[in-house]
Amino acid sequence: MHGARILAGFMPPHVLERIMSHGNTRLQQCARMTLQADAQFRLRHASAPMARPADSGRPGQVARYIYSAGNQQTLPGNLVREEGAPESGDVAVDEAYQWLGATHLFYWQVFERDSIDGDGMALLGTVHYGEDYDNAFWNGAQMVFGDGDGELFNRFTAALDVVAHELTHGVIEREAGLVYADQSGALNESLADVFGAMVKQHHFEQDVEEADWLIGEGLLTERVNGRALRSMAKPGTAYDDPVLGKDPQPGHMDDFVRTSSDNGGVHINSGIPNRAFYLAATSLGGFAWEQAGPVWFDALTDPRLQRDGDFAQFARLTVDCAAKRFGNDSDATQAVNQAWIDVGVLS
């Protein structure tokens, strides 16, 4: 285990802060309550660990436990569905169960990784957290999902890539322990997006041309002028809305955002490595998890990746990992190298 665990929420704080200044009275209250809940959770995070249910007994077998917080902020809440049990009839419960399973299956089938820790760790999820809570997060032990406010955001179990993104923070925590600030923090967020996107593509059997390359598609209600929270293909184009503002993500180092908020812009500058993965994957064609994906996974799990590694260090690692896997002069290695050049990280 590397360093202190972080509360990596899916919702960028700059979005919630924008709602507090541009939303109606109810939306302002929802955003304020979400930010307060997140801050309080960070303070409570050092408390005694919860008693965990049993992990999987067989390699590659998933063990899921879904709880309901009943719109309170107590974790994990009441157990409402566990592995092998039939559908509960609660859509959030059953979505969480399905998407935890899809994420587990991806890591097992594609990388032979047995759950988050590689050793069959049980997957826990709590739904109906708080009232109108506009976030989902991984807290180092489990997944937590809000129901959304219903005006701007739907329930956070609705999007498979949101679930996979947050679970991937658990993988990153165990493998690389990337410091959640500045470029290493943006890299942390980007890797969660990269694997979140691949889980979705894997589940729906989409190749790089069929995939939408959106993160959080389905999360925004029809009232919002936007398609998702982030676009890996075209960072900065996911939404442009009177309440949410305009997607601030850059897609090139020339537009790197220097800010003290959001831990140094971890949810903003992640657009740059996101676009690099998109460029590499689409250049190679086929299924993203068959060529570009393994290279990114090799780099994530490479002991040379430093906890405070920046974009350039990770980029060089991916090129090296591609060369080891496919050969120095392979199309894959050239595509990976060119992708990082195209976003201004390598020259």
3-state DSSP: the chain helix, strand, coil percent, rounded to 5?
40, 10, 50
Which residues make beta-bridge pairs with 64? Answer: 123
Look at the block and give the residue holding tokens 């009839």: 89
The catalytic residue among 95, 166, 173, 217 is 166
CA 114 to chain centroid: 18
271, 251 contact by CB (below 8 A): yes
Q: CA-to-CA distance for 115 and 55, rounded, in angstroms?
A: 10
DSSP single-letter state for residue 240: E
Q: CA-to-CA distance for 232 and 226, rounded, in angstroms?
A: 14
Burial tier of 345 (Cβ tally within 10 Å: 0-12, 13-18, 19+): buried
The DSSP annotation for 176-232 comes to T---SSHHHHHHHHHHHHHHHHHHHHHHTT--TTT---EESTTTB-TTSSBS-SEES
| Angle made by CA atoms 270, 273, 278, in degrees to the nearest 5 | 115
Instruction: Give yes or no: 166 in active site.
Output: yes
Q: Give the residue among 335, 332, 248 at the shortest CA–CA distance from 291.
A: 332
Q: Give the residue among 52, 65, 135, 50 at the shortest CA–CA distance from 100.
A: 65
| Neighbour count for residue 258 (Cβ, 10 Å) | 8
| Catalytic residue annotation | 166, 267
